[in-house]
């Protein structure tokens, strides 16, 4: 990560950084947060009749395409009936050849942050089960994403994830792959010498541990990173570590919501079946990416990562 501190033309300090995983350019410009135009983009409150019309709620199984499978199901349950904990169905409007929806809970829970630990473990299990099916059918990559809130592109408020089967590494992950090789892994360096000013939490398991931190050069305020401390390419290959990472991400969202109010976000797994170091990236969508971000690929972040981490650590969710 290169850093250069210099005052802007009004004398406020700006800091140019480079994300070690992607090489993306980020300019930290805290003074811009005071400028007008930053809007509040919270999660929409629950609409009247929302749960009654929700196809993901238990009892509404006939309103989705027939399920692929369900987890936590009661003995003797028929497909597409009540009595499940996590349900996997094809996407009704797929943009890809294979795309599934993982419904995270039978009740109308509107946030990933509201899922219990056992429920998050079932979500991890559903992701790994779909990954095994994708590999068995010759697909090279499974993209797992959670979109929450309209500002993050969520189609429905009931907590769910999308799983997209791809026949190659998508561009964002292909860009990271050379930086995350075992012999010179930028994420191993980051975690091996983890800046206490950025660290938020750690989960220790018998098979290793997983850390949650504020991204050192995130493209948006409060951008988070969760990853195993050990260099592991395939996140779907160890369901306990994946569940721990999802649990840490949910904790990150609870802390974020305590600081900023309920916040829209995108969460995704960057996974590598060959060499690489898997991780979750969580990008809060409190700001809108504008012309400089999209046109130049240079991200302006109005909150320094150490300040974001300090606020999240102090939060009492
Ligand atoms: Zn629902
Ligand atoms: Zn690594
Ligand atoms: Zn990544």
DSSP 169-216: --HHHHHHGGGG-GGG-HHHHHHHT--TTTEEEEEEETTEEEEEEE-T
Q: Is the pLDDT of residue 37 over 70?
A: no
* Mean model confidence pLDDT for the chain: 93
244: nearest Cα among 206, 217, 197, 285: 206
Least confident of 90-104, 132-146, 207-221: 90-104
Instruction: Decide: 44 and 150 in contact? Cβ < 8 Å.
Output: yes
The dihedral region occupied by 310, where left means phi > 0, alpha psi between -120 and 50, and beta the remainder, is: alpha
How many residues in the chain?
A: 317
Instruction: State residue 124 phi and psi, 5-degree precision.
Output: -60, -40
46 CA distance to ligand 1 centroid (A)?
11
77 CA distance to ligand 3 centroid (A)?
39
190 CA distance to ligand 2 centroid (A)?
9
Q: Is the pLDDT of residue 59 over 70?
A: yes
Ligand that comes closest to the CA of residue 103? 1
Q: Is the pLDDT of residue 34 over 80?
A: no
Q: Is the pLDDT of residue 297 over 70?
A: yes
Instruction: Decide: 232 and 241 in contact? Cβ < 8 Å.
Output: yes
Mean pLDDT, to the nearest integer, of 47-60? 95
Ligand that comes closest to the CA of residue 24? 3
Least confident of 2-6, 105-109, 178-182, 252-256: 2-6
140 CA distance to ligand 1 centroid (A)?
32
118 CA distance to ligand 2 centroid (A)?
28
Distance CA 279, CA 277 (A): 7
HSE, side-chain direction, 13 A CA sphere, residue 37: 6
176 CA distance to ligand 2 centroid (A)?
11
Quote the pLDDT of residue 35: 55
User: pTM (2 decimals)?
Assistant: 0.94
Mean pLDDT, to the nearest integer, of 228-256? 98
Q: How many other C-beta atoms lie within 10 A of the C-beta of residue 257?
A: 19
Quote the pLDDT of residue 93: 83
Q: Is the pLDDT of residue 166 over 90?
A: yes
């Amino acid at each position: 990560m290169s850093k250069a501190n210099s005052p802007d033309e009004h004398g406020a300090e700006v800091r140019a950084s480079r994300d070690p995983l992607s090489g993306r350019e980020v300019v930290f410009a805290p003074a811009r947060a005071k400028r007008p135009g930053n809007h509040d983009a919270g999660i929409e409150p629950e609409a009247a009749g929302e749960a009654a019309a929700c196809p993901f709620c238990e009892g509404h199984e006939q309103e989705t395409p027939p399920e692929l499978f369900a987890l936590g199901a009661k003995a003797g349950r028929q497909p597409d009936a009540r009595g499940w904990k996590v349900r996997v169905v094809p996407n009704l409007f797929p943009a890809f050849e294979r795309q599934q929806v993982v419904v995270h809970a039978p009740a109308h829970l509107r946030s990933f942050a509201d899922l219990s630990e056992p429920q998050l473990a079932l979500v991890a299990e559903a992701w790994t089960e779909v990954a095994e099916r994708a590999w068995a059918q010759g697909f090279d990559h499974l993209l797992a994403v959670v979109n929450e809130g309209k500002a993050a592109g969520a189609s429905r408020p009931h907590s769910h994830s999308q799983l997209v089967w791809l026949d190659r590494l998508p561009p964002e992950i292909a860009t990271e792959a050379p930086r995350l090789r075992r012999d010179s892994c930028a994420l191993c360096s980051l975690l091996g010498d983890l800046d206490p000013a950025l660290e938020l939490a750690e989960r220790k398991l018998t098979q290793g541990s997983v850390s949650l931190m504020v991204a050192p050069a995130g493209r948006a305020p409060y951008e988070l990173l969760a990853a195993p401390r050990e260099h592991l390419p395939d996140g779907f290959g160890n369901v306990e570590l994946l569940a721990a990472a999802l649990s840490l991400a949910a904790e990150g969202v609870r802390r974020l919501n305590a600081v900023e109010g309920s916040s829209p976000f995108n969460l995704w797994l960057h996974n590598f079946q060959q060499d690489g170091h898997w991780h979750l990236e969580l990008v809060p969508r409190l700001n809108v990416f504008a012309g400089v971000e999209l046109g130049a690929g240079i991200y302006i972040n109005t909150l320094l990562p150490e300040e974001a981490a300090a606020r999240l650590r102090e939060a009492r969710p």
